[in-house]
Amino acid sequence: MATYAPQELAVALKDGLLSFPVTPFAGDGEIDEALYRAHIDWQSSFAIGGLFAAGGTGEGFSLTPEESARVVRLAVETAAGRTPVLGSAGGNTAQAIQNAQAAEAAGAEGLLLLPPYLTECDQDGLLEHASAVCAATSLGVIVYNRGNAVYSAQTVARLAERHPSFIGFKDAIGDIEQLTRVHATNGDRLFYLGGLPTAETYALPLLQLGLSTYSSAMYNFAPEFALAFYRDVRALDRAAVTEKLSQFVLPYLDIRDRTKGYGVSIVKGGMKAVGRDMGSVRPPLQDLTDRDREDLSALIDAAGIR
């Protein structure tokens, strides 16, 4: 049973760095439960605001519903109350409801609602999809604004009016006008977090638009660097943020952008570089090439992150 009521969870999450733990796979492609527990234990040992299990960086898109539920349960058990653990819900509406209810049964504190599995949908259909998931669980729900799930300010307001358990808006589009409209329309009714790939790149300007936090993928292998970066953002220390961007984040992006799908692969490459190998990614993703892994390892060394 969740420890936090939905609005209490929003308060707990809005002023702390968030992250998505990677899911380790053994040589046969199966989830390595012991390695996952060790990773969650390490990730929970820092002052992190919350962890999203079975999310994007956790390759939730490649997990079966049963695997997703297992990963969430392992994360909840291992974090043991040190930090809130949230589950993820994706796919069609029925599958998203299944994910949501399984996450709640596993003891998750909240839920990230991923885009539905459709080539396209309009606002009324998107509202009903999100509303069905909110109605199916007592957990606090955060919608993920990305892909085919681009929520208008009015749709967000209608969802908030229907469901007190709808608590957050995560953005991976970066449309300044849309973010301005969503925040101006909904105000403090929700909390807002950044979810663009390698969110550190956009964190400082998005803070000015009301996105008080973001999800850091690099926290997986560089927790102290990621937390220091977040503190600099919240302190509005532009010089410190720019230094860290130049020192590590932007060169990291250069490696990430060499191949499509490297957003997750490079995080697992970073785990290997710091001596915490989490195995390979599942297809259709692909692991870093030897050259890319060597370049990443050198960058980590040069930045003093290892």
**Cα 24 from Cα 32, distance rounded (Å):** 6
Whether 191 contacts 216, CB under 8 Å? no
Report DSSP state, residue 140.
E
- Which residues carry out catalysis? 144, 170
Return the H-helix or E-strand segment holding 127: helix 123-135
Whether 238 contacts 208, CB under 8 Å? no
Whether 49 contacts 12, CB under 8 Å? yes
Helix (H, G, I), strand (E, B) or coil at 109: coil
**Cα 279 from Cα 213, distance rounded (Å):** 29
Task: Calculate ∠ Cα 113-266-34, nearest 5°.
Answer: 70
CA 218 to chain centre: 11
Token pair in block for residue 276: 């915490």
**Cα 153 from Cα 176, distance rounded (Å):** 12
Query: Dihedral sign, CA of 160, 162, 163, 164?
Result: positive
Tell me which residue has tokens 């589950």. Answer: 87
Give 156's contacts (C-beta < 8 A, 6+ positions apart): 143, 169, 182, 185, 186, 190
